Structure 1
Amino acid sequence: MMTLKLEAKSAKKTSSSMSAEFSDKLNPLDDRTWSQFFPDHPDSAEMIGLMGDCGMDEFEFSSIIVKNDDGPLLLLPLFTTHYDLTTTLSGSALQLAGAAKAILPRLLRPKVLGVGFVEGEWGEVGFDRNASLESLERAWLVAIEALNRAAKRLQAQLIAFKDFTFESGKNLPINKLTAFSCVNSMPYCQMELRFASLEDYLKTLDPDLRRYLKRAEKKRQDLRITYENQVGPWIDQVYELYLEQVKQSESSFGVHRREYFERICDTVPGARYVLYYLADKLIAFELLVERKNSLIQKYIGMDREAGRDYKIFFVSWLENIRYCLDKGITHTHIGASQEKLKSELGCSLVPSAVLTRHVDPVMNRLLKFALPELEYVSKVPVTKPVLGSMWI
């Protein structure tokens, strides 16, 4: 771990000094401190630790910890990668960007230093919930300077706070991030499960959708479904199904390595696989994590033809609701994608936003003009979250 002493200015001479440490670990905290810094994040310390240990192709993970004499105050989880800005474009803008990309590839595929998580849930900066606002404000001064130094050392062109929601972004010091532009990102989907039965849930849906789900439910009788704490002999097929799903996904950000799927059940409490067989052939899987009376739906993968023919997405959707109702689980996280369909299926949407700036001031001004074309447009209208509410 590399330590950089950065003194925060304060009018009080008795104030303790603060320093920023760069760690090559995504989660350098002990489990107790992590839980105190990230009490409401869906992913546990073990999940984030596994993510950092296994890594992802074309990604590097690290963190910045700001400490005073009493211990950690802030934790900024970091990632670096090259991001293709054209992935969110369409029409004439995409054609123009494609031509520019051939001439100036670094312009449209910049190296990004990101603050937040790649794992699949929203971004967040952890902080000591018992610290005073004055201490946190001083800590942020140190953190921002450390972040700028990291960007320079890593030769990143963009700095981005990725996918922060109203709640997870309440401690962001917006008044100190005025050079950053804020754009909408993908909304996250959640559902409260206050139903007496699966039939009660179905009654809340549009009649046409309800009939379709009932037809999908009939496909379940042709399948064999098992819950497994070890994926064992099926790891090759599971990983192939995952990679196939990534290719089809419009929202995938990075690709997990096989090791992640091999180790998750041994490492992360509450993790298990649901396997879907047609006769003896594995045609689909879903990776779930049960945590704090919530079911987190992490990843699903399916054979393209069999998945379509047997309506696996909808069969698994109903299977997860049935599981939650049987276990008394009252909440489920369903990730960010297909928000229109998931909204029709009963989900509420949690808006998220990205704060970004180019390290070069001139390029940053140009970026502000281009960002409206790069902004994610939700299929269901959502309001951009207000960030930094803790300081208002």
Structure 2
Amino acid sequence: MLCIEDLAVPPEGFLHGEPEGAEYYEAVQMAGMDDFHFGYFAAYRAGRLVTVAPYFVMNFRLNTLLPNGWLKQSLSLIRFKLACIGNPIADVGRIHGDASLEILSAINEELAKKGSLLAYKGFGQDLPLPDFVQAIGLPVPVLALGPDYYQSMKSDRRNLLKRKLKKSSALRYEECAGLPENLVPKVYQLYLNTYHKADLKFEKLTPEYFVNTNALSQYLLFYLEDELIGFTQLIGKGNKLVNRYIGLDYDKSRDHGLYFAMFIRAIDFGIREGFTEIELGATSYEFKRILGARQLPTWNYYRHTTPLFNWILGKLRGVLEPSESELR
């Protein structure tokens, strides 16, 4: 017999091999982000835990995934209570354990009690969700790392990266295990710079996020003279490294090649520390292709509990998928 329990915290061993595992999910959960409620569906068969599916609930505007423009404005008033399997921050959705049709169907019955619009965020193409509208999500650039990373690169690309790194020679670069408490306000200010500049906004972090994830993170810090003008948050475990968040001072970044330097230094860090791959974040695809990243495709799944609205979602599938400008 299958039994589903709704837990407030992840059970022991949840995503234990992933950089963004139980500790990270709990840190995000406790960060006090507005309008988000978090939980975990645990599926048991004959008393044995077989699946853990993280979820979040929020008020979702249908235009959230659209770039700025008339269509985004015209759909701004359409909103649903969204109950979603996944995590609002993680680019890749993960379910711990068995994700069979039987188990997901049972989880969806519980999910429907929390919202009218059900969703799965950032998963593969083959989830057994036959009644859901399947929409292409943002691909995740993943770069293979190794001691021969630069040697195996074509010479013109290698020279391009050298030139970009040389442009940042006036910057002072530091690595920091965790984030010193006195730097949290400045790092948060730099993060907000990138948040406000982005066309696509899903979640907005709080300063508590950077405090809560401190012990899990490695920071790359970039100074112009004595002023912190950029940071990279890295989270690693096993052979995987995640380039989680960046922040920068846009008034000073262009003249000093800051944006490019942050990613090149993250790669250097990953190679030195023995990681074999790094997730580079779902933005700025062209530059990440130059770095050699492959695009890991993702899909989002949607189902409205009202059949008519679910039919309309199918007709509006394109609204739920990334635009060309977001994939550049």
TM over 0.5: yes
Q: Pick the aligned partner of 2:3 from 4, 19, 39.
A: 19
The one of 220, 224, 230 aligned to 1:284:
230
Report matched runs for 1:58-207 at 5 Å. Answer: 58-89=35-66, 95=70, 98-99=73-74, 101=76, 105=77, 108-127=78-97, 138-148=102-112, 150-151=113-114, 156-166=115-125, 172=127, 174=128, 177-196=129-148, 198=150, 200=151, 203-204=153-154, 207=156
Give unmatched runs, 5+ long, in structure 1: 1-16, 382-392
Distance in 1, matches of 2:130 and 2:271, equals 46
Deviating more after overlay: 309-318 vs 78-87: 78-87
Which letter does structure 2 place at the counterpart of 1:116? G
Q: Distance in 2 between matches of 1:188 and 1:357?
A: 24
* DSSP 3-state at the match of 1:54: coil
Equivalent residue, structure 2, for 1:384: none
Change in Cα spacing, 1:342 to 1:317, as seen in structure 2 (3 Å) is same
Is the contact made by 2:242 and 2:279 (CA closer than 8 Å) also made in structure 1? yes
Return the alpha-carbon distance in structure 2 between the equivalents of residues 99 and 252 of structure 1. 17
The alpha-carbon distance between structure 1 residues 24 and 324, as it changes in their structure 2 partners (threshold 3 A), is closer
Alpha-carbon offset, residue 90 of structure 1: 5.8
* Superposed counterparts of 1:26-41, under 5 Å: 27=10, 29-30=11-12, 32-35=13-16, 39=17, 41=18
* Corresponding position of 1:48: 25
Contact 2:65 2:200 in 1 (8 A): no
Q: Which amino acid aligns with 1:147?
A: L
TM-score, reference length from structure 2: 0.90
What is the aligned partner in structure 2 of residue 387 from structure 1? none
**Alignment match, 1:235:** 184
SS of the aligned residue for 1:215 comes to: helix
Checking the alignment, whether the CA contact within 8 Å between 1:184 and 1:377 is kept in structure 2 is no
Q: 1:95 is matched by which residue type in structure 2? A: W
| CA distance in structure 1 between the partners assigned to 2:67 and 2:195 by the alignment | 20
Partner residue of 2:164 out of 205, 216, 221 = 216
Corresponding letter in the other structure for 1:334:
L
Change (3 A) 1:61 1:187: same
Find the counterpart in structure 2 of residue 341 from structure 1.
287
The structure-2 alpha-carbon separation of the partners of 1:90 and 1:220, relative to structure 1 and needing over 3 Å to count, comes to closer
Measured at CA, do residues 325 and 179 of structure 1 come closer, stay the same or move farther in structure 2, by a change above 3 Å?
closer
Q: Which has the larger radius of gyration?
A: 1
CA shift at 1:212, angstroms?
4.1
Report the Cα distance in structure 1 between the residues aligned to 2:244 and 2:93, rounded to whole angstroms: 15
The residue type equivalent to 1:179 in the other structure is: D
Distance 1:276-1:147 versus aligned 2 partners, 3 A rule: same
Q: TM-score, with normalisation over the residues of structure 1?
A: 0.76
C-alpha displacement at 1:33, in angstroms? 4.9
Residue aligned with 1:178, SS: coil
1: CA distance, partners of 2:107 / 2:60: 24
Q: Distance in 1 between matches of 2:243 and 2:253?
A: 18
* Residue 256 of structure 1, aligned match among 180, 194, 205: 205
Query: What is the aligned-residue identity percentage?
Result: 25
C-alpha contact 2:171 2:222 (8 A) present in aligned 1: yes
- Equivalent residue for 1:325? 271
Q: CA deviation at 1:43?
A: 1.2
Q: CA deviation at 1:274?
A: 1.1
Query: Partners in 2 of 1:122 and 1:330 — Cα distance?
Result: 18
1:146-186 deviation line (CA, Å, top 9, x unaligned): 222x23xxxx23111111025xxx5x3x2xx3221101000
Cα deviation 1:238-273 (Å, max 9, x = unaligned): 01001111111234420121112123223x2xx211
Structure 1 residues 353, 33: CA separation in 2 closer, same or farther (over 3 Å shift)?
A: closer
Deviations 1:261-296 (A, max 9, x none): 123223x2xx21111111110101111112112321
Q: 2: CA distance between counterparts of 1:90 and 1:259?
A: 28
Q: Is residue 160 of structure 2 the alignment partner of residue 225 of structure 1? A: no
Counterpart of 1:361, as a letter, is P
Q: Secondary structure at the match of 2:169?
A: helix
Query: What SS does the aligned partner of 2:314 have?
Result: helix
The answer (yes or no) to whether the contact 2:243–2:280 under 8 Å persists in 1 is yes
